[in-house]
Amino acid sequence: MKKPVRVAVTGAAGQIGYALLFRIASGEMLGKDQPVILQLLELPIDKAQAALKGVIMELEDCAFPLLADVVGTDDPEVAFKDADIALLVGARPRGPGMERKDLLLENAKIFTAQGAALNKVASRDVKVLVVGNPANTNAYIAMKSAPDLNPRNFTAMLRLDHNRALSQLATKADVAVGDIEGLIVWGNHSPTMYPDYRFATANGQNLKDKVGDADWNANTFIPQVGKRGAAIIEARGLSSAASAANAAIDHIHDWVLGSNGKWVTMGVPSDGSYGIPEGVIFGFAVTTENGEYTLVKDIEVDDFSQKAIDKTLAELEEERSGVAHLLG
Ligand code: NAX
């Protein structure tokens, strides 16, 4: 039997947490032969801790053979102790009348503290995925608050956007979703993101040639992927949870176990490629192997794509300057 992997999850009693934990414990994220220890963080308020207790009871009642232990806590240093993987899902939601700027600052406090706790107690190889919004900037803050950890350990979730784009494209091009390769979502996890299928193929056929419709790209595909989250809220009365949890599982699964040469989208600190300033957490196409990701370089950027990339970068830069004073 392999040594258990320690997986920390914050916001564990929330709706994404509820869709996520059972799949991690059943082996869907790290493999059916990989035991896990779940280290679950919730807010230090009675209601959140009671809900967390209930989730842990249900995890126990599943009798998952791969679940070696579960820890529930309100202390980030307990949750992140020796963590190999940290899924930062919990975040401050936007309250009534709250400005975007205030939301950024409230979350900055959370991710500064959690970054510092990771820095102090997590495994030096911890793989961090930030799901809580604004995900890219929260990941940036956590990364900056953890100076002893490799910045490459910090990522933000754009996989839901990637999966949404895959699904829309598969329907339009009438191909199986699993056959599509070469899709990218550039930028911020927000409606400014740029889903880009110029190089997407299915069974060797270029889908841009097949779909061949610039109007569909600009006026349907891009806005539909960008506003999908809002459409789910409108339809369900609640934000995406199962699909978000699924994307988190995909992201970590591929990071740890490899993407077999396929491009996947991860929000990762820029190395300066494509003119994105170093350190900005940006959605790029990557391939993954042996627990490492590699940015796909030298993708041609045409005028349309450059404008789209500039727009999403401008938004990220604005978010970054909004929290710069907190990061020293
Ligand atoms: P919920 O409100 O259902 O759950 C969040 C949980 O986090 C709550 O139980 C809360 O008590 C807890 N929490 C808040 N602050 C915490 C902290 N400092 N430490 C520990 N726990 C804390 O939200 P849910 O629907 O689960 O969504 C979670 C986050 O994911 C939100 O920020 C949401 O905007 C974001 N999303 C990000 C997506 C992405 O693609 N990157 C897509 C889905 C989702 O919208």
pLDDT tens digits, 271-280: 999 999 999 9
User: Given this model, what pLDDT does residue 308 score?
Assistant: 97
Q: 15 CB under 6 A from ligand 1? A: yes
Q: 44 CB under 6 A from ligand 1? A: no
User: Given this model, what pLDDT does residue 144 score?
Assistant: 97
User: Given this model, what pLDDT does residue 93 score?
Assistant: 84
C-alpha 41 to ligand 1 mean position (Å): 12
What b/e readout covers 228-263, taking b as 16+ CB neighbours within 10 angstroms? bbeebeeeeeeebbebbbbbbbbbbbbbbbbbeeeb
Ligand 1 pocket test, pick from 40, 55, 89 with the greatest ligand atom count within 8 Å of Cβ, gives 89
Q: Give yes or no for residue 181 having a pLDDT over 80.
A: yes
The average pLDDT across 9-15 equals 98
C-alpha 294 to ligand 1 mean position (Å): 28
Q: Give yes or no for residue 328 having a pLDDT over 90.
A: no
Q: Is 138 exposed, middle or buried (0-12, 13-18, 19+ CB in 10 A)?
A: buried
Q: How many residues does the chain have?
A: 328
Mean of pLDDT over the chain: 96
- Residue 124 tokens read as 């030096």
For residue 241, the ligand 1 atom closest to its alpha carbon is: 25
- List binding-site positions for NAD(+): 11-17, 107, 114, 131-133
For residue 16, the ligand 1 atom closest to its alpha carbon is: 26
Instruction: List own/partner pairs for 176-185 with CB under 8 A and 24 or more apart.
Output: 176/202, 179/203, 180/207, 181/262, 181/263, 182/263, 183/263, 183/265, 183/285, 184/263, 184/265, 184/283, 184/284, 184/285, 184/296, 184/299, 185/158, 185/161, 185/225, 185/265, 185/283
Q: Give yes or no for residue 190 having a pLDDT over 80.
A: yes
pLDDT digits (tens, 9 = 90+) for 133-165: 999 999 999 999 999 999 999 999 999 999 999
The average pLDDT across 208-232 equals 92
pLDDT digits (tens, 9 = 90+) for 26-69: 999 999 999 999 999 999 999 999 999 999 999 999 999 999 99
CA distance linking residue 29 with residue 119, whole number of Å: 24
pTM: 0.98
For residue 74, the ligand 1 atom closest to its alpha carbon is: 20
User: Given this model, what pLDDT does residue 101 score?
Assistant: 83
DSSP state of 222: H
Question: Do the interacting molecules here have an ipTM over 0.85?
Answer: yes
Give the catalytic positions in this structure: 189
Q: 157 CB under 6 A from ligand 1? A: yes
User: Given this model, what pLDDT does residue 212 score?
Assistant: 78
User: Given this model, what pLDDT does residue 98 score?
Assistant: 80
Q: 160 CB under 6 A from ligand 1? A: yes
User: Given this model, what pLDDT does residue 53 score?
Assistant: 98
Q: 48 CB under 6 A from ligand 1? A: yes
- Which pLDDT band, with edges at 50, 70 and 90, does 319 fall under? very high
Distance of CA 191 to the CA centre of its chain: 15
